Amino acid sequence: MIEIRNLTKSFGRATVWKDVTLNIHRGETLAIIGRSGCGKSVLIKHINALLKPDSGEIYVDGENVFGMDYVGLRKMRQKFGILFQGAALFDSISTFENVAFPLRYFTEQSEEEIRKNVLEALEMVKLQNVAEKSTAELSGGMRKRVGLARAIVLKPQYLMYDEPTSGLDPQTSDEINELITMLAETMEITTIVVTHDMHSVLRIADSVAFLHDQCLHWSGSVEEMKTSNDEALLSFIKASEYQI
């Protein structure tokens, strides 16, 4: 369970959002939506303390992430897998080594076990025969899958996706959406998806948090969203050309 309490963040004089309070329950899939630049990426980077807020707290499984020492921080961060917006693959090493990276640094596994786990993770994301390729040879959709394989290889409890479908064609987007749902179910993962793609939201999410006008403007279940008459939320949904 993740509890976000009265979180406020600004860069210099520019406030990103203030007083965000939100609970993310075990096993649910939350979609964080909002326009570009409204601070969705900044918000998820607070959850595992990659960024520090001006004020407020976040509790992951009851522990304050901003009051942790180095060891606590490492343990907390390893509960999370993150798929970054551009996949953030390490471009100095091969695809295989990208997925193997967390295993090499944080487990004592033998070369054989590493190989087995990497191939298994790649299979989970439906990728074959890419292990020996350099990351530069991969397409956008493949990069995201490799990033995802790397994120799940240590079997995290929480998975965060930053715009997993942006920049992909509709068919590839659908495949990624299916993957997200499949991973959430088979690995019993709590999922947080940042997106501005309403189509994805309806395919994968249980609940929705809508960032708007420098605050958490609306949050609730997908069912509630469908019947909501909040003006800003409706106009955001309408702008994405998706009729509920």
Does 50 bind another protein (CB under 8 A)? Our answer is yes
Residues in 7-46 at the binding interface with Mg ion, rule: CB under 5 A: 41
Characterize the bridge pairing of strands 29-33 and 158-162: unpaired
157 binds another protein (CB under 8 A): no
How far apart CA 176 and CA 209 sit, in angstroms, is: 21
Count residues near ligand ADP (CB under 6 A).
10
Among 20, 22, 40, 207, binds ligand ADP (CB under 6 A): 40
Q: How far apart are CB 58 and another protein at their closest, in Å? A: 15
* Closest CB to ligand ADP among residues 153, 176: 176
Q: Round to whole Å and give the CA distance between 161 and 44.
A: 9
Does 13 bind ligand ADP (CB under 6 A)? Our answer is no
Bridge partners of 241, per DSSP, are: none
Q: Are 89 and 102 in contact (CB under 8 A)?
A: no
Tokens of 126: 């439906």
| Least Cβ distance, residue 201 to ligand ADP (angstroms) | 15
* Residue 12, helix vs strand vs coil: coil
Strands (E), 93-214: 158-162, 190-195, 207-212
Kind plus residue range of the DSSP H or E element containing 146: helix 140-152
Cα 30 to Cα 3, 11, 44, 78, 122, distances in angstroms: 13, 26, 12, 20, 25
36 binds, among ligand ADP, another protein, Mg ion, none (CB under 5 to 8 A by kind): ligand ADP
| Buried-state track 174-213, b at ≥16 Cβ within 10 A, e below 16 | ebbbebbeebbeeeebbbbbbbbbbbbbbbbbebbbbbbe
Q: If binding is defined by CB under 8 A, does position 75 make contact with another protein?
A: yes
Chosen from another protein, Mg ion, ligand ADP, none, partner binding at 101 (C-beta under 5 to 8 Å by type): another protein
Among 39, 147, 156, 164, binds ligand ADP (CB under 6 A): 39
Smallest gap from Cβ 12 to ligand ADP, in A, equals 7
Please identify which residue in 4, 38, 184, 201 interacts with ligand ADP, judged by CB under 6 A.
38
Backbone angles phi, psi at 27, to 5 degrees: 85, -10
Binding segment (CB under 6 A) for ligand ADP, from list 36-44, 91-99, 129-137, 218-226: 36-44
182 binds, among ligand ADP, another protein, Mg ion, none (CB under 5 to 8 A by kind): none
Interface residues toward ligand ADP, by CB under 6 A: 11, 16, 34, 36-42
Interface residues toward another protein, by CB under 8 A: 45, 48, 50, 70, 73-75, 77-78, 80, 82, 84-86, 88-91, 101-102, 105-106, 150, 154
